[in-house]
A and B are shown apart, each in its own frame.
Chain A
Amino acid sequence: DGGITQSPKYLFRKEGQNVTLSCEQNLNHDAMYWYRQDPGQGLRLIYYSQIVNDFQKGDIAEGYSVSREKKESFPLTVTSAQKNPTAFYLCASSISRGHEAFFGQGTRLTVV
């Protein structure tokens, strides 16, 4: 099946720990994105990548890091510097930036 896969679906982290969220797509899309969704707010862009080995900060990049070593993979690391990491994280991809985005099923991260 073609699509975008996020794992895990649920993730629990202790304060002070880094954690990495996985995102893989087999749609041959150049652009990939990470969004954060909080209750009552629209999706906010964390990082995006338009091509392999290149990525740019979004609106709320502080406390997060990414890599884009392969076209199909765009992992997101939530570091201990992120003060309020509990949220629903969505990964998306598109042919190029501004085109229709296809979303994964999301990862719900909870800090305990």
Chain B
Amino acid sequence: KNQVEQSPQSLIILEGKNCTLQCNYTVSPFSNLRWYKQDTGRGPVSLTIMTFSENTKSNGRYTATLDADTKQSSLHITASQLSDSASYICVVSADKLIFGTGTRLQVFP
């Protein structure tokens, strides 16, 4: 069964700290993996997209990694800001998009 699991479900950190979000998937055939950021009450916005051959991709303070052998991805946020408070959704593309349940990140001053 195609599944995408994310951990932790929720995370609280202080402004300026780093954090790492995890995504494990059992999706076949694998096409690519994306991380989306979703602010409360708004639609998700794409942060990164990674194909099978890519290990790391950065977008400003966001760095995504992909290990296609272990079927794991992580999203690392550096020097967090209050505006990083959001849900982060891992999406794996096979013949359709498979969504994880997301990690709810709260950044406090």
Contacts and interface: CB of A to CB of B under 8 A. Distances in A.
A51 to B, nearest CB: 16
B93 A42 contact: no
A88 B34 CA distance: 21
Q: Is the interface of A mostly helix, strand, loop or mixed?
A: loop
Q: Is the interface on chain A under 10, 10 to 19, 20 to 34, or 35 or more residues?
A: 20 to 34
B96 A42 contact: no
B101 A41 contact: yes
A92 B95 CA distance: 16
Contacts of A88: 41
B97 interface: yes
B96 A45 contact: yes
Contacts of B36: 103
A68 interface: no
A40 to B, nearest CB: 7
Interface of B: 4, 9, 31, 34, 36, 41-46, 49, 89, 91, 93-97, 99-102
17 contacts: A6-B43, A40-B9, A40-B101, A42-B89, A42-B99, A90-B43, A92-B43, A98-B31, A98-B95, A99-B93, A100-B34, A100-B46, A101-B97, A103-B36, A103-B44, A103-B45, A105-B42
